[in-house]
Each structure stands twice: as C-alpha cells, then as structure tokens.
Chain A
Amino acid sequence: MICRCFGRSFDLAAIGRRFTETADLMVGVPDYEAYVMHVAARHPEAEVMTREVFFRERQAARYGAGGGLRCC
C-alpha cells in the first residue's frame, strides 16, 4: 500500500514491517525473515529453525548467561 503526502510516497506496509521489527528487537527478538534468508544463502545444508523454535531460542538467549542486561 502506497501513501502519497508531502510530495513523497511512503510504502505503508514496509513502514508497518519496520515498526514490528523494531518492537520485536526491543524485547530481544531479531528479524525471523532475515534469519531464514541468512541460513538459505550461507548455510544451505543446515536445518532452518521454524518460527516457533526461533522465537524460543531467542527468548532463552535473552535471559541466559551474558544476555538480558538492561539499564536501571
């Protein structure tokens, strides 16, 4: 969906994706699509985690040793 204002065009769907991506990363979950593309491009022989497994893995990593550090 494209919205035109101020003489420029904005791709609302892309903005929405960025918004979700930001929100996800704020709580420590990186972009799943980027992960899938990375594995496909660089490690085609490796097994790709499903979205569910990926989410669990990242959640555990955030609060595991060395993760989950936030400011006061």
Chain B
Amino acid sequence: MKFVWSAIAVAGAVSLGVVALSRGESVNALWLVVAAICVYAIAYRFYSLFIAERVLGLDAARQTPAYARNDGLDYVPTNKYVLFGHHFAAIAGAGPLVGPVLAAQMGYLPGTLWILVGVVFAGAVQDFLTLFISVRRDGRSLGDMIRTEMGPFAGIVASVGVLAIMVILLAVLALIVVKALANSPWGSFTVFATIPIALLMGLYGRFLRPHRVLEMSLIGFVLLMAAIWFGGVIAADPVWAAWFTFSGVTWAFMLIGYGFLASVLPVWLILAPRDYLSTFLKIGTICALALGILIVMPHLHMPAISRFIDGTGPVFAGSLFPFLFITIACGSVSGFHALVSSGTTPKMLENEKQARMIGYGAMLAESGVAIMALIAATVLQPGAYFAMNAPAAVIGTNVTDVAAKVSSWGFAITPEALTQLAQDVGEKTILSRAGGAPTLAVGMSQILSGVLGGRALMAFWYHFAILFEALFILTTIDAGTRVARFMIQDLAGALIPSLRRTESWGANMAATALAVTGWGYFLYQGVVDPLGGINTLWPLFGISNQMLAAIALMLCAVVLFKMKRQRYAAVALVPTAWLAVCTLTAGWEKIFSPVPAIGFLAHAAKFSAALAGGKVLAPAKSVSDMHQVLTNDYVDCGLTALFMTVVVVMLGAGLASIYRALSDARITTREQNYDLPLLRPQL
C-alpha cells in the first residue's frame, strides 16, 4: 500500500511540476487533471483521516440523529453513497463554474494552486467540520449553532450577514444570466421554453404520475433538447429572432418579475420541476465535461501566469492578493456550504464516520468541477478569452477595435477569428460577455464538439451549456428568493411579530417584494454599468462568501476549544485567519483604494468632481444618472463595510468564546447525548 501512495505522490509532484514550470508552450490539460486527482487522493487519504481520528475523534459507536430522531421524513438513516449524491448535488452550483473562469485572466496557475490548496486546507475542512458539529447537535443549522455556542448577539449578526450574502448572490447570479442572454435570440428562446416544459412536468408529477421524479425529468430533458434545436431555427429567422432579442435591461426586469412570481406560486407548478431538471442536467453535464476532457485532451492556451497579476486586469480589478482568493470561492472554499452541511445532510448520516467521505469527499469533487471550469476557460485562445470577458468600455464594441486592443496586450487575435467564433456558436457577437457563463460555454462547446459532432454541432453545444447554466441559476434565484423571504420574515419578525406568520398572504408578499427589490437593485446597477457589473458585484459576492466561511470555521474552532481539543485547533484557525485577512484586505481596498476601478470612494470622488465641473461621465447620460452612480457607489461601500463589520464582530465573539472555554477546566461543548442505547437499523 505504501508503494501505491508513494507512486501517487510522485505522479502528483511531476504533474504539478509540469503545470507550474511550463513556459512559452501550451501544456496538455491532462497534466492538470492528474495533478488535481493526486492532490485530492493524498489529501483525502491522509489529512481527512487525521482530522477524523485525531482532531474530531469520530466515534462509529455513537448514535446519529438519523437513528435517534428517525421520523422517516427529515431524519432518515441513508446509505452513504446515496447521501453523497444528495450532498454533492446540494453544494455544486454555478459558483465553481464562474469564479475560475474570471480568475483565468491571471493565467491558469494562480487559480489552480488556490483551488487545490484552498480546498484541501480550508474548503473541505469547513464542510467536514460543520457537518460533524451539526451531527453532534441534532442536525441543527449554522445560525442555531452560532447562537448556542457563541451567544445570541453573534447569532443575530450572523443572520444579518447571511441575508446580505443571499441578496448579493442572487444579484450576481441573475447578472450572469443577463450577460449570457442579452441580444441572444437563441438563448432567450430556449430559456423561455423551460417555462412551459416545467409546467408540463409539474402537472405530470402532480396529477398523472406522482413521485416519478426520474420519469418526468426524462420527459423534460427530451423536450429541452428539442427546444435547443428549435432555438437555432428561431435565431436563423430574422422575424422570429427579433421577437426573442432582448436588451440587458429588459432581461433584468423580466428576471425580477419572474423571481417574484416564481417564489409566490405553488412550488410544485414550476419551481420543483425545474429544480429536478436542473439538478440532473447539472450532474450529467459535469460528467460529460469530465469525459470530454479525458477524451479530447485539450491544450491550455492561456499562459501559466499572465501580466494581469499586477491588478490591471480587464475582467476584475485588483492584484493577485487578495483578489484571486475572493474571486475563486466555490471550488476552493465557500461559506455557503456551511449552510448546506448544517441543513439536511446531518439529519441523514447513518454513522458519524461517514462525515469524512461526505463532508470532505464531496467538497473535493466540487473542487474538481472548478478545475474543469478552469480548463474550459483556458483552452480558449487568450485573445478570444479577453475579447469575451473585458468590458466594452475598455476594449470597444466592434471586432476590429477589440482585436486591436486585445492584441496590444500581447494576446494576438484577428477580427476575423472573433467573427468566426461568434458564427461557430450561433451568436451575432461574443464580445464583452463577462460573467463566466458564455466563456465556459464556448470552452465546453470546443471540448464537447471534439467528442461529438465537430464544428457543425458547436452552436448546439454552446447553447446547451448556456441553457444548463441559466437553468440552474434560475432555480437558485427562485429558491433563493424564497429562502431570503423566510430570513426576512424571521429577522423582521423579531421587531414586528405579525411578519413572522408565513401563512399570512400579506406578510409573505411584503417579504418577497423586499427580497426581490434587494437583489433587483444590485442586478439593475450591474446591468447598466459600462464596466460590465461583474467587475463590482463578483468581488462583493466573493468577499461575502469567504466572510461566511471565516465565520463557519471560527465556530468550528470554538467548538474544538470547548471540546478541549485545542491542540488541533490550528486545523480550523489557520484557514479562518487566512480568510479573515483576505476578506478584510479586499474589503478595505474596495472601499479605500485610490484607484477608481477598485475603490468605491475613489470612484465616487471622480464622479463628484466631474459633477462639480458640470461634466457627465459615462455610463451616466445625464446629471440625474450621475447622482445615481454616486448613490450606487455609496451603497456598495456601505455593504462592504457591513460585511467587514460582521467579520470583525464574529471574530471577536469567537475569540471571546475561546477565552471562556480556556478558562473553564470542564468540557463546555453542548453536544446532544442520546441516552437511548444504540439502535441498529430498525425497519
């Protein structure tokens, strides 16, 4: 066995060496795949075992909530492979597909290293530890556990933080959809088609064949493929194409209205069936992409490290530290997973020991998805990548200007190549489609068409990828708006108790409207921003997500101290400290950086100065627009300051709890000890 692990270590080291040291010539993506798999294998075999046995002392004889509170509904002992599938489906979303694509502007190496190191020492650790502490507490939620372990004040601060993250998350996800679908009749048609398809599935599953999830999803899938094919016909017809061509602003308002409707309609009608479709499509597409990469073995054309590590990159502004570490969140470490790991999974775990495979293992798998996204983005010609991801304000709006500008950065590309690429994927233009989804779709279409269909099917694969992303982002928007609504009702209910009544139509409407207005505001602001919006919103989202991860890891550290296992507290404290440093530095720079592209205050100062001089700066077209830009800057500034305050307060609360735990000689952790004898599977 020792020999096998030595071989894996050597293979991993060699592949990482090839990936890291290759300069000047393109490197085969397989090296990256092998390096990642070896890192995951070693981390799982050794580090997660160390955490399971030494740090946490997982106890196979200890009863889990699934048995102790078995109700056949929420608490159900579940086979570990089945539960792994459930957990992976819950944590894998758009995040790991977008962050690495944006980070590719710095070359493939910085992103790869952060994805690998981050997941091994922070992301997977967070998921594993959170799952563990939740299992020992009846499967309770993160907010609940923060309240009981760190005090009620910390609990409220964390809830406000989580709500703010939801709002930013929904805005940025909606913006990705807008960027992909604006002026794309093909994409717009297929996304519209999902509504009747979902309705049909919903009715089928409600009245014809209840509980036949796979069956109705299969019907939905076939119809969806037909819709993609028919979308091409629509896009080719000038009259119909005009009907389905919408501007970004129109799409933004349609999404806002849609988000409101979908979250107040009965869930079985549209939300649930689309959720089924998007979940299975997501799993299937991830598998297809993995196979595609293995079969095609594409070369990475992006340099290992690009000149944009200095912070002048067009995709997002800011230097490698700290901005790389907040740009790639999901895939290396994502605070959101702490909410999932303390959700349904801990209520279904058969045995504590399985927390290792499900908590740590599923996160490694998600990290693998991020690596694939990075590969898909870097197999593109760098010139095409920058033409797709740099904002129009920087590179211009026609292929000649764009090609000249991007080539001047050292990434040679011809106008003809850009036109050809747009034609290949069945679009009029691919310029300045920031947000990750279109870039990933082009990369995926190159890989998948290499397996099946060649150039003739490239447009189909491109729109398949766009639809797949749009579909699960829309599902997240529906479900997320509902979740935000419940959070608002819960928080506001503390002040106005009548708001808490989730069966009251008025209270529901008010809370939903508030949730939709929240993310809608940021979405609109992002859509009209000439710098593309992703520039502003993605860093805000990254900061908030990593902030949540820091909070979750802090909670884990507190619990380790309370368990008197503080000699291993570094396992949680080191990533906490790193995330705190990254989020606070990034937040500070977003507020106070003198560069207007990075700092909100500097940006506001530039606009106030222009306003005082009677000038109007783009994107503003009038004086009132100028005032709007200023308001946006101050709102973004305030939000960043809120995130930073939440981090600081939670770190303080954590340290105070650690101090109290240290000054108490007893074990102070509040675990649920079931006094029932260990029940074996009772059927």
Contact = CB atoms under 8 A, between A and B. Distances in A.
Contacts of A31: 76, 78
Interface in A1-59: 18, 20-32, 34-39, 41-42, 51-52, 54-59
A57 B334 CA distance: 30
Contacts of A71: 90-93, 95, 330, 334, 336-337, 340
B86 A63 contact: no
Contact of B173 (A20, A30, A32, A72): A72
Contact of A61 (B74, B279, B476): B74
Contact of A52 (B211, B283, B344): B211
Given A55-B211, A66-B486, A25 B545 contact: no
Given A59-B272, A63-B482, A72 B169 contact: yes
A26 B479 contact: no
B683 interface: yes
Contacts of B344: 28, 67
A26 B362 CA distance: 13
Contacts of B206: 56
B642 interface: no
A28 B595 CA distance: 47
Contacts of B343: 67, 69
Given A51-B210, A56-B210, A72-B476, A25 B82 contact: yes
A63 B330 contact: no
Given A68-B482, A70-B340, A26 B89 contact: yes
Contacts of A26: 85-86, 89, 279-280, 283
A61 to B, nearest CB: 7
B509 interface: no
A42 to B, nearest CB: 7
Interface residues of B, number: 60
A63 to B, nearest CB: 4
B93 A34 contact: no
A34 B72 contact: yes
B71 A22 contact: no
B359 to A, nearest CB: 14
B214 interface: yes
Contacts of B271: 63
B85 A70 contact: no
A64 B348 CA distance: 19
B419 interface: no
Most chain B beta-carbon contacts within 10 A, residue among A22, A37, A42, A72 = A72
Nearest to B339: A69
Nearest to B282: A26
B267 A60 contact: yes
A61 B210 contact: no
B81 interface: yes
B211 A38 contact: no
Interface residues of A, number: 43
B79 interface: yes
A18 B449 CA distance: 32
Given A22-B85, A25-B83, A69 B340 contact: yes
A32 B211 contact: yes
Secondary structure dominating the interface of A: helix
A72 B334 contact: yes
The residue in A34, A51, A64 that gathers the most chain B C-beta atoms within 10 A of its C-beta is A34
Contacts of B336: 71-72
Contact of B76 (A34, A66, A68, A70): A34
B210 A55 contact: yes
A26 B196 CA distance: 23
Given A25-B78, A27-B213, A72 B72 contact: no
Contact of A68 (B73, B74, B268, B483): B483
Nearest to B85: A22
Contacts of A39: 72
Contacts of A35: 72-73, 76
A70 B93 contact: yes
Contact of B95 (A29, A36, A61, A72): A72
Nearest to B141: A66
A38 B72 contact: yes
Residue of B90, B169, B541 with most chain A CB atoms under a 10 A cut-off: B90
A55 B95 CA distance: 30
Contacts of B276: 27
B85 A68 contact: no
A21 B482 contact: no
A65 B502 contact: yes
A12 to B, nearest CB: 16
A41 B680 CA distance: 13
A23 B212 CA distance: 11
B106 interface: no
A25 B85 contact: yes
Given A66-B486, A72-B336, A23 B73 contact: no
Contact of B94 (A23, A25, A57, A72): A72
29 contacts: A18-B79, A18-B81, A22-B85, A23-B213, A23-B214, A23-B217, A28-B344, A29-B213, A31-B76, A41-B682, A42-B682, A52-B211, A59-B272, A63-B267, A63-B271, A64-B486, A66-B141, A67-B343, A69-B340, A69-B343, A70-B90, A70-B91, A70-B476, A71-B92, A71-B95, A72-B93, A72-B169, A72-B330, A72-B541
Given A72-B95, A72-B541, 13 more contacts: A23-B280, A24-B213, A26-B86, A27-B213, A27-B279, A30-B72, A55-B211, A65-B486, A70-B91, A71-B92, A71-B334, A71-B337, A72-B545
Q: Which 10 A-B pairs have the closest CB atoms?
A: A35-B72, A38-B72, A72-B95, A55-B211, A26-B89, A22-B85, A63-B267, A25-B86, A52-B210, A65-B486
Interface of A: 18, 20-32, 34-39, 41-42, 51-52, 54-72
